[in-house]
Chains A and B, each alone.
Chain A
Amino acid sequence: MGTSVQVTPLSGVYGENPLCYLVAIDGFNLLMDCGWNDLFDPSLLQPLSRVAKSIDAVLISHPDILHLGALPYARKHFGLSAPVYATEPVYRLGLLTMYDHYLSRRQISDFDMFTLDDIDVAFQNVIRLKYSQNYHLSENGEGIVIAPHVAGHLLGGTIWKITKDGEDVVYAVDFNHRKERHLNGTVLESFVRPAVLITDAYNALNNQVYKRQRDQEFIDAILRVLRADGTVLLPVDTAGRVLELILILEQYWAQQHLSFPIFFLTNVASSTVEYVKSFLEWMSDSIAKSFEHTRDNAFLLKYVTLIINKSDLENYAGVPKVVLTSMASLEVGFSHDIFVELATDAKNIVLFTERGQFGTLARMLQVDPPPKAVKVTMSKRVPLVGDELKAYEEEQEKIKKEEAVKKASIVKVEEVRATSSHLSESTKGDSMVIDPASATASPKASSHFRGQMDILIDGFTPPSTSVAPMFPFFENTAEWDDFGEVINPDDYVIQEEDSNHMVGNGKSLDVKPDEASVHLLLDSTPSKVVSHELTVQVKCALLYMDFEGRSDGRSVKSIISHVAPLKLVLVHGSAEATEHLKMHCAKHVCPHVYAPQIEETIDVTSDLCAYKVQLSEKLMSNVLFRKMVENEISWMDSVAEKTNEKVFTLLPPPSAPPTHKSVLVGDLKLADFKQYLSTKGVQVEFAGGALKCGEHITVRKISDSSQKGGTGPQQIVIEGPLCEDYYKIRGHLYSQFYLL
């Protein structure tokens, strides 16, 4: 029997919830993606929390929240400690995406699901792979080989191929077969007949317009607004699809020499583009080629200005401009604030390039007809003053005293632990890392650690859009060290450098100083969040254009039928889309199509029988192979001989073997055959689905609906009266096959 494979969705089936699936291969638990949504709703992670500890490896496919957002949280709260595998761009851009989301959340709420440190910790043990790198898992994953392959959609996007004992399990979600400006199309189609294919039904019901036409419409829509003195807001992701949009705009601006300013505003905009520039080898062939020839990096942006601070936009208040900004959900962050500013003016446009996540402001605005007015919460982090400050200081004093009592016991232990772990990590790496780095880093780390232990109640999360708590806010993470000392802000300057040194170790990343926001967050000035609700009249134009970069329904179907998996598992997609694709595939692709519910375990172990034999030299010397496409094929008669417990050796049969039913091997396409016949000088045309050859002979294929895409042989009929033509055409027909 084949390798045992079980699939259990933990989230993201029959809907658009984040992707997270458990795939067990011979008892080795692989978590495919670990996504969360933009609202960071912990209830979505319930199923994950139950299995997180048993997971042996995590494979991430795309650098966005839906695919990796829950990593820090799961690591911190669920005890998910398995190594994570991802491509270099997924790792790097995923990290930046997490930072961006965290900072955006943090600016307007007391977001405490995870901290920047948690993000760093979660990403520390990401093992970075290259495309088509066969990575052999060890220990209890012995024998399993994982390999990332090009998926399209996002930079570094991955289709995972998991192989054990020659059987492939392919996990392909959010792929794009089309070549784009910065990405190659997926290579999914090159996988043929995997044992299991896990794919999404997200786009099963959607069909796209042509790319060129869509690009033109996109540019037209933007220009119309700009020329009418309006501002274009493009709510985008942090480091994914936005790259394609930037390239579209760059190219068009360069061609037309336009002078409208374009801004790319996220908390991590400059580092994003800086890193993207060094990921050329992960991008499309045309980008690589242009670099080889002219050494012009496509992401050396000439027209797009990178900003990390909203105040930079103020100088351009009345100027028509394009603003690309992260947080496509419009729930928080710059996009939220800018939307509120722009919404009241009919000149402006908010151009959505992806479908908003369910339950977000973006989704609300995408319905047809759009709402006339929406309620939003404006929140701001302000420094404490007057009484509040006093109250805060008193509070701090109190806590300090408590800490002083505690520190003798718990803290010391923790610090020792933290310090030693830091030291051991840093000494492992480059000798250039200076020791003070770890020395200064460790008190901070341990203070974080302790703070969270004390304050955080598992499972408790304030609603993300809620009004700030009324009691004085205090930053629990950075105000004092283990010894109750208020940390000198200057320490943080060193800290910054330290974190840079840590990059050298390859275990921590630099938060490329997004000075303003970092200051705001790490500033020791006590601050609080104030917010007020207001109703925004939506007067600006709203437009949705599909730039999600996923294969559309028709292509998905044709790709699946080309891949022709033995078993198919459908996930991620609305109930209708999932049902639709399931019906379609059951009819046309393979009989085993599954669409499991959350926490429903399905067994997709292949019912394949197989055993290994050794081919003796004597036998092979009598085998004449015929070459067919990539295969060589031959009929073989042999006698088995048991050499030891498990292995058989095949020897040539002692006597002439009985004749076998002859086999015609080949794939006849009538259209190709028509071409072939006409080159042989035969009059040939299609008539009523059959191929009419010469005067009287017809060749046709019997398409048995149950056979289509199935496994049976093709049925071909040639008929006609007895004449010379008949034998001639039969001869041509035979030449399309190999007879074995």
Chain B
Amino acid sequence: YSISYRVRAASAKLAKQRESHLSVKERIDKKRTAALVGGGQKRIDAQHKKGKLTARERVELLLDPESFVESDMFVEHRCSDFGMEQDRNKFPGDSVVTGRGRINGRLVYVFSQDFTVFGGSLSGAHAQKICKIMDQAMTVGAPVIGLNDSGGARIQEGVESLAGYADIFLRNVMASGVVPQISLIMGPCAGGAVYSPALTDFTFMVKDTSYLFITGPDVVKSVTNEDVTQEELGGAKTHTTVSGVAHHAFENDVEALLNVREFFNFLPLSNQDPAPMRECHDCSDRLVHSLDTIVPFETTKAYDMLDIIQTIVDESDFFEIMPSYAKNIVVGFARMNGRTVGIVGNQPKVKVYIISCLDINSSVKGARFVRFCDAFNIPIITFVDVPGFLPGTAQEYGGIIRHGAKLLYAFAEATVPKITIITRKAYGGAYDVMSSKHLRGDVNYAWPTAEVAVMGAKGAVQIIFRGKENQAEAEAEYVEKFANPFPAAVRGFVDDIIEPSTTRKRICRDLEVLASKKQINPWKKHANIPL
């Protein structure tokens, strides 16, 4: 009997084990299923009704099909106050979806805040999940893309939530210059939360459905008595045209995500990687004849710098950063013979400024872009047509001196390959600033239409020949002497005067040579850019 008893006992134990195992498996499945629907179908429908995708849909569209590897699906918030401990208030994964995946085969870490769970509010657990993938991204060297759609702090958690923000901020700062960080604002992002996007390299917004502000319209009304809508205060238009907080705005979620995919292709995965090189169908020695006639004879007449940029770069593919802000400078990414480059150009075709002067906003816009390129090994190509800094009390009182210094600082500090083309005017201090030879420009070219001088002929003659007659004659002489590329060329401040049509060919060849450029700035704890 003993044998049969033992057999029976063993099978009973097994059955019990199997039973508990099954119930764990069931629970896993249940949790997973629950995680996939976030705050539930009702809230998902509400999200759709607002013209917004859900957190998971966004991730799915952003990443290559079936490439998403999720982490922390089982994480739940740990709050036990205000009834939060009840089961119905617990959502597996909490209010954010995190993980890694690929964009065109290239590794990226992603977090996507889930508005359907407590309005996407940030709990301690939520922050922890974000921090975890940011830490991993830093370890392996891959970019982080944050999809923001959050009502703010999880008020029930209080200080825990605040700590969470700070944890993220710290990581944003630590990752800055190590891996590219992109924020895509796809819903509300208010209060302290805004500082995470502000610390990342690029902030994109979705028109009509996303907002960024420190305090909302109600608080504004009570404090300053201003009547302002959410859209006016912190909508995509405000931040891409007035404040300069956001770098681009897109029509809707789908467009935004597809564009971020495209944008991602330009970026290296980390500061350890060279600028990416993609297969290129455009001939590197293609001549661009239209450039020979693009600069008008009248020096005051405008032309569009974008025409120059678009015809020179591969396949006319130019991803402009901040296209609606400080339009007197154009910055953005393109490729030359497949290799990503950063383009900076003065824009003569701006109605508000009449001329392509540097001012506070354009200096800051340019400086930040140049520093990003330098941090991530992206060569910088600068097109110069600058008559100087913008005069006026508004500029002086606003601190054009220290803001202009940022652009100067950024160009001087940069050690990536720097190629500069002077298309027309390069006057005064602005000439020095715009990636001149003196700021370690590697290759500096002048087009035949270039004029490198302290100032325009008229102004110069008024100073040199003050009070004297024959100003017109003197002006003609000045033009003859200085309104051409020779004064700079004879001194070696430009390396060559080139036919505009050959510009693409020259840049492509130079970039090949400069690929092995090595330049190191003196050791320092960190530099002290005039912020």
Q: Do A and B come from one complex?
A: no
**Which A residues form the contact surface with B (CB < 8 A)?**
none
Q: Using a CB–CB distance below 8 Å, which chain B residues touch chain A?
A: none
